[in-house]
Amino acid sequence: MTLLEVRDLSVQLQTKTGFATAVDRLSFTVNEGEILGIAGESGSGKTMTALTLLGLLPQHAKVSGSAKFNGQELIGLSSKEWQKFRGAQIAMVFQDPMTSLHPMLSIKAQMTEHMVTHLGISQQQALVDAEELLADVRIPDPKKALNSYAGQFSGGMRQRICIAMALACKPKLLLADEPSTALDVTVQAGILTLLNRLRKEHQLSIIFITHDLGVLSSITNKLLVLYAGREAESGSTSTILQLPRHPYTQGLLDSLPQPDSNEKLLKSIAGFPPELGKQPIGCAFAERCKFAAATCSGDELLPTYLADSHKFICAVDPFAGLSINQVRP
């Protein structure tokens, strides 16, 4: 069943020179119990998309389009109405666990405050539940942890606490914004395993945001690749990773370090994404793309739909009809 349905979502942010489009007509859906991965470089609009779904965009940002959560339209809610969704129905885990926990409030205070607000339970009950939640995310000695402060935990432990906090009010959708990027690789794996287990046990849907396709491949069902605020390619994770059709997705995959490669240098995509507000009409990736042709710029490009809801937006389609061995020898 569809939990979240986003249609033509656009976000414009106020800059010194006027409004700049940060998210450009995005559409995607998230089904119950599904993990959608959103991939892209920094500035591609991943985080802005997540913040839109929580109503936490900066003041003066303009939002258009539609985002229906369980059939209820989110865009245009008042701040009072947003408060009922945030934390209760849709929760978020942020990138940097070192800064997203309050340094001066005890874990106890931070774990229970929104439980009391949203669930209407007593502080005592909230404490009992909080202890269980901490145990569930494998925090050793949860009772002691509740009376501690953020500064007493390592990064990985703090992120586990953030996850427990996000799940405290049993939300249906979890927005995970690069939750493992700031952590060591071994700790990262632990967080991914934890999220996957919690998804199953809590019937949770997750939007997992990262620039790391390697991470996304291991836990997501569906992928959405963003470039400069626009969709480049989307579809099921296995299809896209096997045979990407957009040169940008291909570039991201090529940029992953290959342990068995003989090459001395890591591959990367040359150039930089366009600045906010300076995206060209047509394909924003064209100027970095080695397959770029005259048809790439000037006009709005139309998406190409393939089987298995695989979709991409590229005028050249250089990988059409090729098999995986031809694309990635």
Partner 1 sequence: MKDLLARRSSSEKSGGLRGNSLSTFVIRRIAIGILLMLGITLISFSVTQLVPGDPAALNLGQSAMSDPTIVAAWRAKYGLDKPVPEQYIIYIDHLLHGDLGLSQQSRRPVSSDLAEYFPATLELATIAIFFSLIFGLLFGVIAAITRNRWPDQIIRFVTLTGVSVPTFWLSLVFFYLFYFKLSWFPSNGRLDPGTDAPSTITGMYTFDALFHGQFNLCWQAFRHLMLPAIVLAIYTIAVLTRFTRASILEILHNDYVRAARAKGLPESHVIRRHVLRPALLSIVTVAGVAFGNLLAGSVLVENVFSWPGIGQYAYRSSIGLDLPGIMGVSIVVAGIFIVMNLLVDIAYRFIDPSLRHG
Q: Would you tell me which residues interact with partner 1 (CB under 8 A)?
A: 54, 56, 79, 82-88, 91-92, 94, 96, 99-106, 109, 113-114, 117-118, 148-152, 162, 165, 169
Q: Looking at beta carbons only, is 137 or 240 nearer to partner 1?
A: 137
Nearer to partner 1, 109 or 293 (CB): 109
Give least dist CB 58 to partner 1, A: 10
Which of 141, 198, 189, 144 has the alpha carbon at shortest distance from 166?
Answer: 198
Residue with smaller CB distance to partner 1, 112 or 249: 112
Using a 10 angstrom Cβ sphere, with 0-12 exposed, 13-18 middle and 19 or more buried, the burial of residue 25 is middle
**Shortest Cβ distance from residue 185 to partner 1 (Å)?**
23
For CA atoms 223, 4, 33, 165, the dihedral sign is positive
b/e sequence 281-320, b meaning 16+ C-beta within 10 Å: ebbbbbebbeebeeebbeeebeebeeeeebbbbbbbebbe
Torsion of CA 281, 282, 286, 291, to 10 degrees: -160
Cβ-based nearer residue to partner 1, 23 or 150: 150
Q: Which is nearer to partner 1, 56 or 320 (CB)?
A: 56
Q: Cβ contacts of residue 231 below 8 Å, gap of 6+?
A: 26, 27, 28, 224, 225, 303, 311, 313
Least separation in angstroms between residue 126's CB and partner 1 is: 13
Break the chain down into helix, strand, coil percent, rounded to 5: 35, 25, 40
* 8 Å CB contact between 45 and 34: no
- What kind and span of H or E run contains 98? helix 97-100
Nearer to partner 1, 118 or 311 (CB): 118
Closest CA to 9 of 74, 85, 82: 74
- Token pair recorded at residue 141: 């000695």
In the complex, minimum distance from the CB of residue 114 to partner 1, in angstroms, rounded to a whole number:
4
Rounded Cα gap, residues 32 and 245, in angstroms: 27
Number of residues assigned to the chain: 329
Shortest Å distance, C-beta 103 to partner 1: 6
- Pick 38 or 289: Cβ nearer partner 1: 38
- Kindly report the number of other CB atoms within 10 A of residue 79's CB atom: 8
Burial of 266 (0-12, 13-18, 19+ CB in 10 A): exposed
Q: Which is closer to partner 1, CB of 169 or CB of 289? A: 169
